[in-house]
Amino acid sequence: MDRADRAAQGVLWDMDGVLVDTGELHFQSWMVALTEAGITFNTEKFRETFGMNNTKILSILLGQAPEAGFVTKVSDRKESLFREMIKGKIQPMPGVRAWLEQLQNMGYRQAVASSAPQANIEALVDEMQIQSYFTTTVSAANLPSKPDPAVFLEAARRLEAPPERCIVIEDATHGVRAAKRAGMRCIAVTTTHPREELAEADVVVDSLEELRTEDFEI
């Protein structure tokens, strides 16, 4: 089998912790919104829920499924704070822009597939000026949360790429598990989790700058 036959058709990028390091800004905005709502929050709970959608996060923090109106109120407050915080403060992670360019030149179709709300994805992509690299952006805000594979399967569908010919780039254990459940190859970067927690991935690196072209072959 030659290299062209082994090449993935789609590359699916997680957002937070992969394309951009927004962890501290997410923590700060969650802390404000949750404190206002009377919910206890700390770094341990943040790390436990990182990579999930807001409904899942609030369910875990409350110990039960929250009412839809409560989810909307807290989420809207948190995300509004977050989008204000990112202005002028973010850059793509090391290696991101180079790989986006190289993969585009090699003919791969690329998508953002994130648990973040769609408005956040668009705000971050616009702020970093990387819109042109992506065929589509997919939010899991209204889909089952990772580790359910729904967001990756939807991204593959929009790229018109079979799941087995897609590669996911993730940083969270829930995301790695979702990628494998989708039947996709997974590259993990240790931005938010140590190597041992990402061992289910096919490739684990400390920085995207460590990746090789061969890592994008199925």
Q: Are residues 68 and 151 in the same domain?
A: no
State residue 27's pLDDT score: 96
Q: Is 216 exposed, middle or buried (0-12, 13-18, 19+ CB in 10 A)?
A: buried
**In this structure, are 206 and 111 located in the same domain?**
yes
57 with 102, same domain: the answer is no
Q: Omega of the bond prior to 144 within 30 degrees of 0, cis?
A: no
Pair 10, 72 in one domain = no
Largest interatomic CA distance in the chain: 58
> Are 121 and 14 in the same domain?
yes
pLDDT lower than 50: segments of the chain: 1
Q: Domain of 101?
A: 3-21+90-216
- Domain with residue 28: its CATH number is 1.10.150
Are residue 146 and residue 103 in the same domain, yes or no? Answer: yes
Q: Are residues 102 and 133 in the same domain?
A: yes
pTM of the model: 0.86
Do 36 and 116 belong to one domain?
A: no
Q: CATH no. for residue 10?
A: 3.40.50.1000
Domain limit, last residue, from 85, 109, 124: 85
Q: Of 39, 55, 85, which one is at a domain's C-terminal end?
A: 85
What local confidence, expressed as pLDDT, does residue 3 receive? 55
Q: In the prediction, which pLDDT does 1 show?
A: 42
Quick one: CA dihedral 92, 138, 111, 190, positive or negative? positive
Tokens of residue 16, six digits: 């937070």
Domains: count for the chain: 2
- Tell me phi and psi for residue 110, to 5 degrees: -125, 145
Same domain, 50 and 80: yes
- CA dist 69 and 53 (Å) reads 16
SS (H, E, C) 48-61: HHCCCCHHHHHHHH
- One domain, residues 35 and 114: no
What amino acid is encoded at 72 in this protein? T
Are residues 129 and 56 part of one domain? no
DSSP state of 153: H
Residue 32 is encoded by which pair of tokens? 């404000």
Cα 20 to Cα 17, 65, 94, 180, 205, distances in angstroms = 5, 30, 9, 22, 16
> Nearest 5°: phi and psi at 169?
-115, 120
Question: Final residue of a domain: which of 66, 85, 104?
Answer: 85
* Sheet of strand 185-189: strand arrangement: 136-139, 109-114, 10-13, 166-170, 185-189, 203-205
> What is the C-alpha to C-alpha distance for residues 62 and 97, in angstroms, rounded to an integer?
38
Within this chain, do residues 11 and 43 fall inside the same structural domain, yes or no?
no
